[in-house]
Structure 1
Amino acid sequence: MTATGEPILEAEGLVKHYPLTRGVLFKKEIGAVRAVDGVDFALGRGETLGIVGESGCGKSTVARLLCSLERPTAGSIRFKGEDITRLSGRALKAVRRNIQMVFQDPYTSLNPRMTVGDIVGEPYEIHPEAAPRGDRRRRVRELLDVVGLDPDYVNRYPHQFSGGQRQRIGIARGLALRPEVIVADEPVSALDVSVQAQVINLLARLQTEFDLSYVFIAHDLSIVRHISDRVAVMYLGRIVETGRDAEIYDHPTHPYTQALLSAVPVPDPGARERRERIILGGDVPSPTDIPSGCRFRTRCWKARERCAREVPALAVPEVFAKGGGPTAHDSACHFAEERRVVPPEDPGGPEAPQATVNGNGPG
């Protein structure tokens, strides 16, 4: 997946398997949880890449790998062209300063025994070269002001804040070292809808103000569309479709993307009544027992014999390659087909039928 500008962060063949063992004294590996199983993407400078998918598809594992909180089983992560997966010690510490993370749950990501001033200023203790000791308190107050909090809150504790305010504290902590990349792992999923909009708008403003590049992870496609330049859709450890936001939302070609879009809330009542609902049958396969061929075939209404034999490549489908246009974006499907799930606003018009799908065809 190509970045729209100069790439600052790249992943190639990224794999993370967690071994399954049996025994107590003599442990024997009997399998592996294939959380991430071959992910490729590039993040451009000043760009926001949204990664979406169901719970358990590997999004958060990708986030931890990008921040070097975990080591990949295989593959590489390059920051400004340098492979950071083999770094350690001071070299890894220097890279971590430039790639910071905003965590999902604002209630558990902040130490309840530390004041807000200590939480936001803690990165300066780990990276003392980032700020002189006598200047740190002033910088913490400035960061609180930047994220929309009263600088006088530095002596308060996390339990004295609401969920949205706590997430603002987490964002301020992520900005403390002036990173170039921020990995936001579902930063608004634990917040009320009204607060979600405030935090998303804050992140958009900070991106311009601090010249940031974002990897924005979420399961809500409507939120990702609001902030992302490009979108990657993940299913069972792999990216199945990727493209610019308009290409993915208005011209999806992969059946899984179409199913996800059909579940997105639509504010327009007319469009909501006419949209086609795609209800997938069956459950997501276990990451310890990945289906052969296409991973989505056990829930796909288009599945054929070829889908069980061949792994579809993430590339522009041949049927769309010559014509170009918004459908000519990467999609890992043997039978890719454009399908507008949510119709454009149109006064009147018949209501679209509801489609129930499973592994054997339309129900």
Structure 2
Amino acid sequence: MAPTTEPILEVGGLVKHYPLTRGVVFRKHEGAVKAVDGVDFALGRGETLGIVGESGCGKSTVAKLLCHLERPTAGAIRFKGEDITRLSGRALKAVRRNIQMVFQDPYTSLNPRMTVGDIVGEPYDIHPEAAPKGERRRRVQELLDVVGLDPEYINRYPHQFSGGQRQRIGIARGLALRPEVIVADEPVSALDVSVQAQVVNLLDRLQAEFDLSYVFIAHDLSIVRHISDRVGVMYLGRIVEIGRDAEIYDHPTHPYTQALLSAVPVPDPEAREHRERILLAGDVPSPTNIPSGCRFRTRCWKAQERCAREVPALAVPAVFRDTRGPAAHDSACHFAEEKRVVPPEEGPPRSGTPGRANGDGPG
């Protein structure tokens, strides 16, 4: 499923295996943890791609690989057509300026010994060409104002802020170098529900204001739908279904996606009573011993002999290739079929303009 705009980031065959060894002097290789095992997607300019899946499926490892915090075992990550996995030194430093990250935990991602001004302004020490020394304080105050914090907070320390405010500081730090791509690794999972809405709406507004492209990683399906243009569903190191948000949520074709959506809380009691709940059998297989063929087959109610022999390709299923409906999107299943498991979404569009962070004041 191609992005709706010109691709700015393209990922092909991305693999990250962590070797398992035994012994101290004579190390013996006993296998590998296959955290990411062949991921492909493209991110369009100005687009938000949401990535969802169970804990341990490889979402955060993908985020680290995109920001070059980890080196891939194989595959390519192309930013504006250039494979950044082959870069080093100054060339890599220049690319990193354009791909920034917002971390999951606002409590551990900020140095408690540094003031807010030092935290947000630290990227200018690494990339001094981005802001002259005489203008850095003003730039930091402008960034704090942009994310909804009082610019006078510049001399405060992280412990003087709530979780929502700390995450706003992390977002301001990510914006400091005016990047083109932001990788948000579960940026609201550690926050209260009301604060989650404020931060998600803030990210939505900043995307239009700064012309950003997002890779938004989360396990909360409702939040991902609120902010994403397209959604990719990961299972055990691979993307098993990808498409536009309405295609994935209203017309899922992969059994795993259908099971995930059936677990989403529904506020309407009547709709909740009539929806089908899909319960998966067994546990997620170990990433050190991935099943042959389709890796979801050990928990799938549709599994047949073919699923153990053949690895399903991530493509439009044959049954939908001659149609133009919303079910005609990429799905890695031999027996894909459309199934509605949640009621249609109703309510206002996914835009919002948050004001100051009054609802999540200092803790």
Number of aligned residue pairs: 346
- 1:129 paired residue number: 129
| Partner SS for 1:333 | coil
- 2:41 paired residue number: 41
CA distance in 2, matches of 1:134, 1:45: 33
Q: CA RMSD in A?
A: 1.0
Unaligned runs of 5+ in 2: 347-363
CA distance in 2, matches of 1:307, 1:229: 31
- 1:192 paired residue number: 192
- 2:360 paired residue number: none
| Partner SS for 2:94 | helix
CA distance in 2, matches of 1:10, 1:96: 15
| Partner SS for 2:331 | coil
Deviations 1:219-241 (A, max 9, x none): 01110000000000000000000
- 2:77 paired residue number: 77
- 1:178 paired residue number: 178
- 2:355 paired residue number: none
CA distance in 2, matches of 1:202, 1:130: 24
- 2:307 paired residue number: 307
CA distance in 1, matches of 2:149, 2:103: 19
Q: Percent of aligned pairs with the same residue? A: 89
What is the deviation of 1:324? Answer: 2.0
| Partner SS for 2:142 | helix
- 2:352 paired residue number: none
CA distance in 2, matches of 1:227, 1:274: 27
Q: Which of 1 and 2 has higher RCO (CA within 8 Å, sep 6+)?
A: 2
| Partner SS for 1:77 | strand
- 1:360 paired residue number: none
CA distance in 1, matches of 2:68, 2:173: 18
Unaligned runs of 5+ in 1: 347-363
- 1:106 paired residue number: 106
CA distance in 1, matches of 2:162, 2:269: 32
Q: Is the 8 A contact 1:274 1:343 kept in 2?
A: no
What is the deviation of 1:269? Answer: 2.2
TM-score scaled by length of structure 2: 0.94
What is the deviation of 1:268? Answer: 2.0
TM-score scaled by length of structure 1: 0.94
Deviations 1:89-124 (A, max 9, x none): 000000000000000000000000000000000000
CA distance in 2, matches of 1:72, 1:137: 37
Greater Cα shift, 337-346 or 156-165? 337-346
CA distance in 2, matches of 1:127, 1:268: 51
- 1:3 paired residue number: 3
Does 1:150 pair with 2:137?
A: no
Q: Structure 1: which 4+ aligned runs deviate by more than 3 Å?
A: 343-346
- 1:352 paired residue number: none
Greater Cα shift, 27-36 or 264-273? 264-273
Deviations 1:321-355 (A, max 9, x none): 11221000000000001111123489xxxxxxxxx
| Partner SS for 1:129 | helix
